[in-house]
A and B are shown apart, each in its own frame.
Chain A
Amino acid sequence: MRAGRHEWAVALPLPLLALLSGCGGIQTIGGREGRDAALINDLFTLFCIVTGIFFAAIMAFLFAAYWRRRGWRADRMAEEDERLAAPSRGGALRVGMFLWTGAVVGGLMGLAVASFFTDRGLAHPNSDNKPVVSIELTGNQWWWDAKYHFHDPSKDFRTANELHIPLGAATYIVLKANDVIHSFWVPNLAGKQDLIPGHLNDIVLVPTRAGHYRGQCAEYCGLQHAHMALDIVVDTPADYQRWVARQQQTAPPPADPQARAGYVYFMNKQCSACHTIAGTPAGGQVAPDLTHVASRATIAAGTLPNTVGSMHAWVADPQGVKPGNNMPYIGLNADELHAVVAYLETLK
């Protein structure tokens, strides 16, 4: 994971924030790796500059007011009183107030217009960006359920907590929620949209650079809100087609004896009641689809990197890794645990 080192930034004034936000990272609003993110980042920079100018003007006025009066001494009180008693007091300030108000109004109008046109320019469904990929993303406490839809419904497939989308094309995502409100947010690509029970929202992503990004639920959704991330992989079109072709395949029967034992445990213990593995009897719909779980970068909605070790930890004690999540403690013995993980590792 890339991450900026930013500790020196505290001392910088507001306008420089815009520049700072351009630092690299897989989850930052300065990422500019999507068309919308770049547009918003430009607008943000404009706002930072304009508000920075206003901030500087106010501070300059405040400092000047302080500086002008810093040398006041008690023995000059009479002189001061005389000067201040003059009837013309405040004439210049009054003009200043009107000029200042005009400047504030003008600045705000400019920003409002810029904001409006940027908003119009963001990718919308039905705009010129003809979506080439259609995904139905459902938020659950605390994981993401994704269904890729195709013209031929037999090609549809389901995955979880990881989206692949093609570079340079528009991906249309319908956002739904199964339980509480969540919010879909991949800052490197675009702004956020809420997933609300009973509502259908949508978002269009137009990535401009291939890479691996991170998204995270942005609406407080309960106990494990902090552990509801998802991985977004922007593939070149060729890579994307390869990935889709692989996802459309069902899981092959395991060859290795340990994995075969794991398959049996998986189907006969509670696992298959909640999880689906396409091509097997496991067809539960209330938990992440595991057909290609081993190909994903992370498990448990971005909680752990997807390694054999963390898969063991997760299957053995899901409540220790992510307290309160809906996966129960199964109570596998060591052999069963190794076998189940060995089977899951075959699901590339």
Chain B
Amino acid sequence: MTVLSGQDLPRDGEALQGAALHARLERTWGDAPGLWGWLTTTDHKKIGRRYIVTAFVFMALAGVLALAMRLQLAGPEKALMTPDRYNQLFTMHGTTMMFLFAVPVMEAMAIYLVPLMIGTRNISFPRLNAFSYWMYLAGGILLWVAFLLNIGPDAGWFSYTPLSGPQFSPGKRVDIWAQMITFTEVAALAVAVEIVATILKQRAPGMTLSRMPLFVWTMLVVALMVIFSMPSVALGSGLLISDRLIGTHFYNAYEHGDPLLWQHLFWFFGHPEVYIIFLPGAGFVSHITETFTRRPVFAYPAMVLSLVTVGLLAFGVWVHHMFATGLPRTGYAFYTAATMAVSIPAGIQIFCWIATIWDGRPRFKVPFLYVFAFIFTFVIGGLSGVMQASVPIDLQVHDTYFIVAHFHYVLVGGAVFPLLGAIDYWFPKVTGRMMGEALGKVSFWLVFLGFQVTFFPMHLLGMWGMPRRVYTYPTGMGWDEMNLIATMGSFALAAGFVLYIVNALNSARRGAIAGPNPWDAAGLEWATASPPPQYNFAHIPVVTSRTPLWDNRNHLPVMTGLRVDDREVLLTTVMDAVPDLREPSALPSIWPLASALATTCMFIASIFTPWAVVIGTFPIAAALIAWFWPKGPMSPEPVIE
């Protein structure tokens, strides 16, 4: 047991432990009661939970849109909706799934899990975290209120110029889309910065980089990818907004602009985005596989290097979305090679997971079933991705239903299946209760089979010439049967999701009590109570191996000496996680919410007038000044051994 000493202040240790320590820490780390506490909290678990629930609400909404689209396409020349409505639906579906569900939900899982996994009391920059959530919520509400008012965007989730430009998309629809992007950029970048800082500086003593849990590794890579890719779409949508709002001509071919510039900027972000979405899935799969085979994941260094490699390659493949745009052919060969090369680390990861199962003692609980569903589905999606890396093949299948099938296999198989498994797996940690096993299995099979029936036929439709983003298709093309099958599958898939949510809601109230470590897992998040207390850990754990709870079954070593009268977190060194500094953690505050409201007003008003940018800055500045107003000396204290 290491002891941190210092001035004569109340600290955890021999003198203060057990119930007395708990009461003291509750007082220090607790939120104000009631609504005020809800609005001002800076606790990563509360914000993470809120983020996850909100993301799932958006997913459900976008899923309903998908069902409506499938009904419209169930047969040829159906007139269930106008083309305008259909175009809004697919734009809203893609935009919501990518910007309001997939990326936020993965970051939200990290907000909740990473501080617990690395053994700290709160995330870095907790107020920024609160601000990020409110911005995300505001952006999502903006988009959906617009849609309900029938001014939802209709230029696709990719909003290619010049279709999305002022000439061909008059009105406010695309402006709302572009500003929603701004909201989610701010939110995602804020979270990415928190995650990187938390992982690099707040790991428990002894958790060297080589002992970091794999989900933490994936989130480190993902957060860095967000930081490097988001500026590209920020620039892209900023130029689009100024084209639309103040008449610049960045994308106007007739005024020396270039519509292809948009595609470069968008896909330089858009392709890393795909890996931003599925790398966390790889992290979930690693944890679930480890726990349910009772073996550490096979070849940990290979897994970590694969993650980092995918993260780097992600930035060299964007042109494979543009093979039909007539760029120089020789250049294309590079992007083909880079895209195919992604299969190498992905293939190594797949091998390592199966090798873990091969060598382990599997228990087929619901989360583990999702691992099998993931491998099956993701491998198909990955292999059809190898096909599209080839320029000649892509020239045929690009923008057909083959692509629709491919990316649903990759994104649902690679991210959503692991996510559903992860929710089932960490559900007892979050709620203190187990998710129902029987209903869990029924919903698993409905989701898995429903998914295959929905999306496998789309491969065939693409090969038989059906293009994407068409609101209807003529009779006699041979597409009718597969479309009908896909529609039927989509309802089975939806039923599976409904059951999953029913199961979750029901289990949160009536599930079996879980205890701290119901799965006998190895990570630090299982070392504390379920649900964890506001301060996460009574004493900061000390890590001596990659699977701390398996190697210290009886007694996990801890470090004492953090102040209990003030919110204090322990900072450790970047590589070796040696105790370094004690840093105050921000108190609850209403100002992140106020700043988010002020920023929201400015963003939304700027859709209507450029003057909003000038005038709207003042309330934001005022809110930020209040947020950062110094409350006395708050410099980090060194650790005194």
Contacts and interface: CB of A to CB of B under 8 A. Distances in A.
A185 interface: yes
A97 B459 CA distance: 31
B391 A17 contact: no
Interface in B225-262: 253-254, 257-260
A3 B480 CA distance: 10
A7 B337 CA distance: 36
B457 interface: yes
B357 interface: yes
Contacts of B82: 323
Contacts of B298: 90, 93, 97
B470 interface: yes
A324 interface: yes
Contact of A97 (B155, B351, B361, B476): B351
A104 B259 CA distance: 37
Contacts of B343: 104, 108
B478 interface: yes
Contact of A199 (B155, B326, B358, B395): B326
Nearest to B160: A181
Contacts of B352: 97
Given A39-B392, A64-B358, A9 B387 contact: no
A196 B259 contact: yes
Contacts of B379: 55, 58-59
B301 to A, nearest CB: 11
A28 to B, nearest CB: 5
Contacts of A84: 295, 359, 361
A265 interface: no
Interface stretch (A114-122, A158-166, A273-281): A114-122
Interface stretch (A43-51, A148-156, A245-253, A332-340): A43-51
A37 B259 CA distance: 29
A111 B386 contact: yes
Interface string A1-30: 101111101100010010011010101111
A213 to B, nearest CB: 10
Contacts of B295: 84
Interface residues of B, number: 90
A214 B167 CA distance: 30
Nearest to A11: B456
A193 B326 contact: yes
Nearest to A304: B474
A171 interface: no
Contacts of B465: 25, 27-29, 187, 214, 216
Interface stretch (B56-64, B397-405, B536-544): B397-405
B325 interface: yes
A216 B326 contact: no
A94 B298 CA distance: 9
Interface string B119-139: 000000000000000000000
Contacts of B599: none
Nearest to B467: A218
Contact of A5 (B329, B359, B471, B478): B478
A192 B383 contact: no
A220 B357 contact: no
B477 A226 contact: no
B171 interface: no
B380 interface: yes
Given A10-B453, A25-B464, A199-B260, A115 B357 contact: no
A196 B477 contact: no
B162 A191 contact: no
A111 B392 CA distance: 12
B456 A62 contact: no
A111 B390 contact: yes
Given A108-B343, A218-B398, A220-B163, A72 B362 contact: yes
Nearest to A72: B361
Interface string A96-128: 110011001100100110111011001010000
A117 to B, nearest CB: 10
Contact of B324 (A27, A61, A183): A183
A225 B460 contact: no
A115 B392 contact: yes
B478 A119 contact: no
B396 A191 contact: yes
B636 interface: no
Contacts of B394: 191
Interface string B155-169: 110001011000110
A65 B383 CA distance: 21
Nearest to A104: B347
B390 A197 contact: no
Contacts of A302: 474
A90 B329 contact: no
Given A29-B396, A181-B259, A324 B380 contact: no
Nearest to B258: A198
A20 B84 contact: no
**Centre residue among B84, B336, B361 by max chain A CB count within 10 A:** B361
A58 B354 contact: yes
B622 interface: no
A200 B453 CA distance: 41
A115 B396 CA distance: 13
A187 B396 contact: yes
Contacts of B329: 119, 124
A239 B52 CA distance: 65
Interface of B: 82-84, 87, 154-156, 160, 162-163, 167-168, 253-254, 257-260, 295, 298-299, 302, 324-326, 329, 332-333, 336-337, 340-341, 343-344, 347-348, 350-352, 354-355, 357-362, 372, 375-376, 379-380, 383-384, 386-387, 389-400, 453, 456-457, 459-460, 463-465, 467-474, 476-478, 481-482, 485
Which 4 A-B residue pairings sit nearest by Cβ, starting from the closest? A191-B395, A198-B253, A3-B478, A226-B470
16 contacts: A3-B478, A5-B481, A47-B393, A97-B351, A100-B347, A104-B344, A105-B344, A180-B163, A181-B163, A191-B392, A192-B395, A196-B260, A196-B326, A199-B325, A220-B155, A323-B83
Given A10-B453, A199-B325, 10 more contacts: A7-B481, A39-B392, A72-B362, A90-B355, A104-B343, A108-B343, A108-B386, A191-B394, A196-B259, A226-B83
